[in-house]
Each structure stands twice: as structure tokens, then as C-alpha cells.
């Protein structure tokens, strides 16, 4: 049995009902996470052999758009968890997989990602804190200034240096259950948008056995390019597109309402030009997202190593860059169309203000300034200019 779209719509409707409260109170959407646990959606990218839903990446992308349209905070919490689960399912040691995947599929484990560090930001392929050998496993201490949903997580996927003498690029990915850790909150999450993600800073200390290290015999850059980054960028882009397209749907519904008072003249060339500009941005992101998903699914069937090539890395960086900037730009234009009374107020029937605040975070998530530079360097390596 594949994706049940009606089930996704039903869950999204319930999540949407709590979206304003989640944003207004700036609290983690516990009820939404519980709903996703009960639905089995926490195991969306877990194989059916372990009790998961076994969705394709395309199914997952569509669901992330739908949930992101209902509440972007909830969408990103869920989508980022699914990306962590996918990484473990594809790269984890057999002992870890047998222990963890059935629990994820049953909705018992929500995984938070721990990649940020003071001084390095969210640079995935660099780490400061190190694994220290201990008996038949490892111990570690980790400071992370931003951890999405960290205080509500049941497990954590962390980046750490492979040993105390290792360079910052010798990164290992490590899974730890919450009961293996001592966790202290170190920073509150009081932000412009994405207020429901509760992404405050944490101090994490703990110990794990050797099976907790993910693909420890492989170069981290390779597994990041093949598995981590493509799915992460698909997840983010889908949620951002969902938030922007959901806002546009509500704007169009308001503009078409025969009982509407005030607002722009929809028969004017200017308004129609503005709407076309918005729609074109959403179409561009949606089309590029679909091509990126197809590229991952094709590589998984044929040769996963092709995702390490410069053109593929450019494509997935470009997905993140385009999606983060064009979706925010689209909502910014929606505010112009709707005007001050509808587009700029928090209690508007068209929640553009919340979408604008939420999407402002998109270019700051693994900062675009750095990603543009990285992608420019890759462009110099692709002499054939291999477009997606």
C-alpha cells in the first residue's frame, strides 16, 4: 500500500487548526507530533520490513508540502525527523537498525538533528566536539546552539569528530537514545518565525556503543553527498514550498470571494501581473523540486555514487538556494497584493504575516551566503555545465 493522500489531508487539516496557536504561543506542537506518531507517519521513510510506511521520496516530498502548508513548524519538525530516519535506515549498522527502526515505525522515537556548534554554525562537514573511546564504545560532550525540537526528542543524530586528535573534517555521525544522554537547555528559542520548532540550544553529554556510529568506515563527505544532503534539501524545499503555495491558495480564495471588501482590483493588469509573478516563482520551485526528487530516486536504482559528482552537488545546493529565496520572495509579493489590512496583520483571514516570518528563516538555515560560495566553487569543476 502506497501513499494515502486522504489520510495526509486529514492530518494536515487537524494540524492547520492549531497552527496559529503554535505560532502565537511559541511552543512546540506536542499535539501535532502525537498525531503524527499515532498515524504511523514517523516511519514514512522506514521500510515495510520494519513496520514503516516505505514511502518513496516523491511521496514524502508531497506529504511534506501538504503538512508544511498547514503549519510550517510542524512540517519541518516531521520532515527533518524523516530525513534522520532515512539516513539510519540506509547507512546504520545492522544492530542499530534492528533496535531502532521498528520503534520509529511505531511512533515511539522522534529524532532531532544535532549539527550546529559554537564557532562553526551549521557546517555539516565540520565538527569540534570529539568521540572519546570508552570500554566497548564512546563518550562525548557536545554544545549545540540550535537543535530543532531537542527538548522533545526521543533520540539524536549528532556530528562529532572521530577522535580527539582528528581534524575538524574527520566527522562521524552518531545516534544516541535520550536515555543514554544528559541534556541541559542552554538557550531559549524566541524568534521572528518558526516559533513552534523550539530550536533552543542544548548541552549534550553521553555514551554509546560502537554500533551507534553510522557508516564509520566511510568518508563522511561521501555519505553526506549521497544520502544526507539530497534528502535534507528535498525535505526543506518541500516544506517551504508548501508554506508558500498554501498561503497563495488562501490569497487567491480571498481575492475570488464575491463578498470581499477592499483589496485590489483583480481585473487590473497590475494585479494579474503580480499574481503571475508569484505563481511563476512557485512553479519554478515545484518543477526543480520534482526534478531533484527524480534524480535521487534514479541514482538509488542505478548508481548512488553519481550523487557525489559536482553536477549533482550543484543541483541539490541549487534546490535549497532557489527554494529558500523564491518562496520567501513569493510571500513577500503576496503581502504587497493583499495590502496592509490583510497582508500585514497577524489576525488576518489570510495568514501571510506568519508565512512571511516563517519563510524568512529559510535562507538562514545552513546559510545561503556560504552555500552560494560553495556552489560557485563546484561550478568551476563542472566544465560541461551539466544542468538538471
Which H helix or E strand runs over 140?
A: strand 137-144
Residue segments in the chain with a per-residue pLDDT below the cut of 50: none
Closest Cα to residue 235, out of 49, 55, 378?
Answer: 55
- Give pLDDT, residue 122: 72
Q: If we measure between CA atoms, which residue out of 38, 112, 36 comes closest to residue 75?
A: 36
The CATH code for residues 5-110 is 1.10.540.10
Question: In the CATH scheme, what is the homologous superfamily, with its name and number, of domain 220-381?
Answer: Butyryl-CoA Dehydrogenase, subunit A, domain 3 (1.20.140.10)
Residue boundaries of the structural domains of the chain: 5-110, 113-214, 220-381
The CA distances from residue 136 to 93, 130, 147, 160, in Å, are 15, 16, 28, 18
Place of cell 545561503: 368
- How far apart CA 337 and CA 351 sit, in angstroms, is 13
- pTM score, two decimals? 0.97
**Contact in structure between 337 and 343 (CB atoms under 8 Å):** yes
* Fold entry, domain 113-214: Butyryl-CoA Dehydrogenase, subunit A; domain 2 (2.40.110)
Going by C-alpha positions, the residue among 299, 326, 325 that lies closest to residue 312 is 299
pLDDT at residue 1, as a whole number? 58
The answer to whether the 5-110 and 113-214 domains have the same CATH topology is: no
DSSP for 150-214, please give it: GGG-SEEEEEEESSTTS-TT-EEEEEEEGGGEEEEE-S----SS-GGG----EEEEEEEEGGGEE
Supply the pLDDT for residue 135: 87
Strands 111-114 and 155-161: parallel
Give, in degrees to the nearest 5, the angle at Cα 309 between 305 and 310.
165
User: Crossing angle for the helix pair 229-256 and 310-338, nearest 10 degrees?
Assistant: 20
Q: What is the pLDDT of residue 123?
A: 81
pLDDT value of residue 316: 99
Amino acid at each position: 500500500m502506497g501513499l494515502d493522500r486522504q489520510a495526509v489531508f486529514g492530518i494536515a487539516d487537524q494540524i492547520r487548526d492549531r497552527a496559529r496557536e503554535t505560532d502565537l504561543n511559541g511552543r512546540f506542537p506536542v499535539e501535532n507530533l502525537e498525531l503524527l506518531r499515532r498515524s504511523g507517519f514517523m516511519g514514512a521513510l522506514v521500510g515495510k520490513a520494519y513496520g514503516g510506511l516505505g514511502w518513496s521520496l516523491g511521496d514524502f516530498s508531497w506529504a511534506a508540502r501538504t503538512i508544511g502548508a498547514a503549519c510550517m513548524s510542524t512540517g519541518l519538525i516531521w520532515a527533518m525527523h524523516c530525513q534522520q530516519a532515512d539516513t539510519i535506515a540506509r547507512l546504520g549498522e545492522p544492530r542499530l537498525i534492528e533496535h531502532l527502526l521498528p520503534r520509529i515505525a511505531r511512533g515511539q522515537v522522534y529524532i532531532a538533528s544535532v549539527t550546529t556548534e559554537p564557532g562553526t554554525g551549521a557546517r555539516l562537514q565540520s565538527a569540534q566536539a570529539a568521540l572519546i573511546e570508552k570500554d566497548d564504545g564512546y563518550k562525548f560532550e557536545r554544545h549545540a546552539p540550535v537543535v530543532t525540537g531537542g527538548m522533545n526528542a526521543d533520540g539524536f543524530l549528532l556530528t562529532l569528530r572521530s577522535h580527539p586528535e582528528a581534524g575538524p573534517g574527520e566527522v562521524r555521525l552518531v545516534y544516541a537514545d535520550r536515555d543514554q544522554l544528559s541534556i541541559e537547555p542552554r538557550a531559549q528559542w524566541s524568534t521572528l518565525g518558526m516559533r513552534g520548532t523550539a530550536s533552543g540550544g542544548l548541552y549534550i553529554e553521553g555514551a554509546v556503543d560502537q554500533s551507534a556510529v553510522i557508516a564509520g568506515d566511510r568518508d563522511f563527505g561521501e555519505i553526506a553527498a549521497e544520502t544526507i544532503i539530497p534528502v535534507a534539501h528535498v525535505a526543506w524545499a518541500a516544506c517551504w514550498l508548501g508554506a508558500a503555495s498554501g498561503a497563495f491558495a488562501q490569497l487567491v480564495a480571498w481575492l475570488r470571494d464575491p463578498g470581499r471588501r477592499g483589496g485590489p482590483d483583480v481585473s487590473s493588469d497590475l494585479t494579474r501581473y503580480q499574481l503571475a509573478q508569484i505563481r511563476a516563482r512557485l512553479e519554478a520551485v515545484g518543477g526543480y523540486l520534482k526534478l531533484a526528487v527524480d534524480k535521487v530516486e534514479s541514482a538509488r536504482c542505478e548508481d548512488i555514487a553519481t550523487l557525489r559528482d559536482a553536477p549533482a552537488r550543484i543541483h541539490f545546493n541549487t534546490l535549497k538556494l532557489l527554494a529558500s529565496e523564491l518562496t520567501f520572495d513569493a510571500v513577500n509579493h503576496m503581502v504587497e497584493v493583499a495590502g496592509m489590512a490583510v497582508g500585514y496583520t497577524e489576525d488576518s483571514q489570510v495568514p501571510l504575516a506568519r508565512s512571511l516570518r516563517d519563510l524568512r528563516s529559510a535562507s538562514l538555515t545552513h546559510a545561503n551566503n556560504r552555500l552560494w560560495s560553495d556552489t560557485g566553487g563546484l561550478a568551476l569543476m563542472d566544465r560541461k555545465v551539466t544542468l538538471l
